[in-house]
A and B are shown apart, each in its own frame.
Chain A
Amino acid sequence: GENVEQHPSTLSVQEGDSAVIKCTYSDSASNYFPWYKQELGKGPQLIIDIRSNVGEKKDQRIAVTLNKTAKHFSLHITETQPEDSAVYFCAAIYSGGYQKVTFGTGTKLQVIP
């Protein structure tokens, strides 16, 4: 089955700096890679996703890059703000087959004002 490793587990940045979270996956068949943000006391919410036919996707201050050869993908947050403080999860999914969803272990991001 799929195995997803996520690093770092915690990340502290100064407000205005950039934050990068990386995930590696094991199954080369995986073709859908979402990122979720979880605020305290809430369920995860999708913030951005990318499919395997695309190398990069941006949405304002958030971007995701995918390297299929190396089997890793990264979340980039620029100009971080205190409200970006949360736990972030990546996932790798093969939408054509197994129907399972495998998440990374999460990254707790703290943005220091």
Chain B
Amino acid sequence: EAQVTQNPRYLITVTGKKLTVTCSQNMNHEYMSWYRQDPGLGLRQIYYSMNVEVTDKGDVPEGYKVSRKEKRNFPLILESPSPNQTSLYFCASSYGVGQPQHFGDGTRLSIL
């Protein structure tokens, strides 16, 4: 079954404690992306990757890092989380930027 898998689905943590949200896809997609969803702001792109070792900033990259060492995985790293990063996060993948994206089911992060 084609899918994008995010882990964890829920996480409550404290300010400054490094965390990683994993994302894996099984469709051999080249393009992967991270979004955050906040009430009234819709989905905003954090980082994207066009292929292995190729990543670039989206519209709201501050406070986040990503890596793309393998085609299937695209982890999101918060090195020093702050309360303003409390949000619902989605990973997505597609064959290219101008192609339909497949989304994971989301990770709800609460940073106290």
Query: Residues of A at under 8 Å CB distance from B?
Result: 1, 6, 9, 31-32, 34, 36, 41-46, 49, 51, 89, 93, 95-96, 99-106
Contacts and interface: CB of A to CB of B under 8 A. Distances in A.
Interface residues of B, number: 27
A86 to B, nearest CB: 13
B89 to A, nearest CB: 10
A69 to B, nearest CB: 21
Given A1-B59, A44-B103, A103 B43 contact: yes
A6 B42 contact: yes
A9 B42 CA distance: 10
B33 A101 contact: yes
B40 A43 contact: no
Contacts of A42: 105-106
11 contacts: A95-B97, A99-B48, A99-B97, A100-B45, A101-B58, A101-B101, A103-B42, A103-B43, A105-B40, A105-B42, A106-B43
Interface string B25-62: 00000010101000011111100101000001011000
Nearest to B4: A43
B3 to A, nearest CB: 10
Nearest to A6: B42
Nearest to B45: A101
B101 to A, nearest CB: 7
A2 B65 CA distance: 23
Contact of B98 (A1, A31, A45, A104): A31
B42 A104 contact: yes
Contacts of B33: 101
A42 B48 CA distance: 21
Contacts of B104: 43
B59 A100 contact: yes
B59 A46 contact: no
Given A44-B90, A89-B42, A105-B40, A100 B105 contact: no
Contacts of B83: none
Interface string B1-32: 00010000000000000000000000000010
